Amino acid sequence: MSEHVLAAEGGIQVGQHPQVTFLGLTLNVDTMISTVIAALIVLGFAVYLRIKATSGVPTGLQLLFEAVTDQIERQVEENVGIRTAPFVVPLAVALFFFILIANWMSIVPHAFADYVGPPTADVNLTFALAFFVIILVHITGFRTRGVQYFRHFLGPVPAMAPIEVIQEIVRPFSLSLRLFGNIFAGTVMVSIIALMPEFIHWLPTTAWKLFELAIGLIQAIIFAVLTIVYFAGANPEEGAH
Amino acid sequence: MSAEALSTQDTVVQDTVAQDTLAQDGGGGNNFLIPNGTIIVELVIFLVIFWVIWRYVVPPIKRVMNQRQDMVRRQIEESRQASERLEAAESKYQEALNEARTEAAKIRENARADAQRIKEDMREQADQEVARIRERGEEQLTTQREQVVRELRSELGALAVSLAGRIVGESLADESQRSATVDRFIDELDGMSATDGQATTRTGENR
């Protein structure tokens, strides 16, 4: 109670979302709006590429997609082996671009923060992505190696088994909360800067938002690369060469 | 009093609002680290993106990248072939040039040899011609001389005799004496002309 009042007095509401209830589910309106906008941007790029993709002189966007796809493909080839999991490349590409655009929605002015902000500042998005990835990793591991796959939970020596199991359980949380924490902290920082006097707060806000762009890019790369690494862990034999 | 009551009421209202907010947050309580129903929406949205990128973006991108790689590879191959062809053409040209040069030299040599041969032939022919002409001239001369001698022998004798006869009269009436005298005279003449002919030949050689 006192915390709430304190926060209200400062004008900062941390992690508050306007919500609606639909079919018994509580839904965060702002996160959904932001996610849909980010998704539409990514899908717009996809449609544009689909129409414009050429082996001749490529557009800038196509070059960007080609560079990212090429890089991810190389990573997957080195770590996983592209034949065991052909969907890892599009998965990592989709994760990268979706998270990148979602993170970069942090540049939307603070005045609209109640309805549009980076959707990655909501655990609902990051948990959804991380658990989807980790579950897919386990399914892939089981499908390629069968029951043998579960032996790696035991670790190299039996004494390590608890640590290995904890690691496997922690992975989706670390993956999602790392992304969430970075972006969420950015939004909190913007809220705090907004408490400064009107005539000066634009300067640190601008500086911080530029910094947030870099953070958003790095977090998108980390999420995509870690996804590939986890898939590599599910196929140790394949990843060896 | 009323002010105090108002204040209390205010606090109560605030409290109720706060509790309402708490209640509204639902299953996860007020903790924003606990996901709520939004997670399903987010997952669905991401699955749509994943599906679109998997089906409609990555394959064409990979295709055009492969096409471009093929194109670059082909261009490199073509440029290599072109430079090879150029090199071959250059060497062939050089070869042809050398061949032409040797050919030209050979032709020139032949021409020179031909010229030499023709010159020699012509000189030989000219020499032969000269020799032939000279021979014929000599022959002619000899024939003429012989003719002259013959004429002289017949005419000069008679003329001289008639002249001498007129001068000497009867003394030379003897036929045999007369012919002997004429013969001697002719022989002397002959000897004179032979010396003359020798001198003429020597002069011709000197020239």
ipTM of the prediction: 0.81
Torsion of CA B155, B156, B158, B163, to 10 degrees: 140
Q: Which of B25, B33, B61 is the best residue to mutate to test the A interface, defined by the most A CB atoms within 10 Å of its own CB?
A: B61
Residues of chain A found within 8 Å of residue B60, distances taken between Cβ atoms? 49-50, 53
pLDDT digits (tens, 9 = 90+) for A71-121: 888 888 777 776 667 788 888 888 998 999 988 888 877 767 677 788 888
3-state SS class at A2: helix
Beta-carbon contacts of A31 under 8 Å, excluding residues fewer than 6 positions away, are A17, A119, A122, A124, A125, B38, B42
pLDDT at B97: 94
pLDDT confidence band for B131 (50 / 70 / 90): very high
Give me the pLDDT at residue B24, please.
Answer: 44
Say what the pLDDT of residue A124 is.
Answer: 85
Run of H or E residues at A161: helix A161-193
Asked if the C-beta of B58 comes within 8 angstroms of chain A's C-beta atoms, the answer is: yes
A36 touches chain B (CB under 8 A): yes
Round to whole Å and give the CA distance between A92 and A109.
29
| Each residue's pLDDT tens digit, A199-233 | 888 888 888 888 989 999 999 999 988 888 888 87
Least confident range of A112-116, B34-38, B53-57:
A112-116
**pLDDT attached to residue B170:** 57
Determine whether the interchain pair A66/B34 forms a contact, defined as Cβ–Cβ distance below 8 Å. no
Query: What pLDDT shows up at residue B184?
Result: 81
- Mean pLDDT over residues A118-140, rounded? 87
pLDDT above 70 for B26 = no
Closest residue on chain A to B16 (Cα): A1
pLDDT in tens, B144-194: 888 888 888 778 777 777 777 777 665 556 677 777 777 887 888 788 777
pLDDT digits (tens, 9 = 90+) for A9-53: 456 667 677 777 777 777 777 888 888 888 899 888 888 888 877
Helix (H, G, I), strand (E, B) or coil at A55: coil
Closest CA to A45 of A85, A97, A7: A97
**A19/B42 Cβ within 8 A:** no
* pLDDT, greater one: B103 or A122: B103
Strand A19-22 to strand A25-28: parallel, antiparallel, or no bridges (unpaired)? antiparallel
Segment B18-36 shows an average pLDDT of 55
What pLDDT is attached to residue A167? 85
- The residue of chain B with its CA nearest to that of A94 is B50
Q: Do A112 and A193 touch, CB atoms closer than 8 A?
A: no
Q: Is the pLDDT of residue A125 over 90?
A: no
Position A12 scores a pLDDT of 65
Helix axes B38-52, A29-52, angle to 10 degrees: 0
Q: What is the pTM of this model?
A: 0.65
| Chain A residues 162-191 with CB within 8 Å of chain B | 177
Q: Which amino acid is at A114?
A: D
Check whether B204 has a pLDDT greater than 50.
no
| pLDDT for res A240 | 43
Q: Where exactly are the structural domains of chain A?
A: 5-240
CB-based contact (8 Å) between B35 and chain A?
yes
Q: What is the C-alpha separation between B37 and B42, in angstroms, rounded?
A: 9
Cα distance from A135 to chain B (closest Cα, Å)?
A: 13
Counting residues of chain B whose pLDDT is more than 90, the rounded percentage is 33
Question: From CA B34, how far away is CA A28, in angstroms rounded?
Answer: 12
Per-residue pLDDT, averaged over B29-55, amounts to: 82
Instruction: Flag whether pLDDT at B111 surpasses 80.
Output: yes
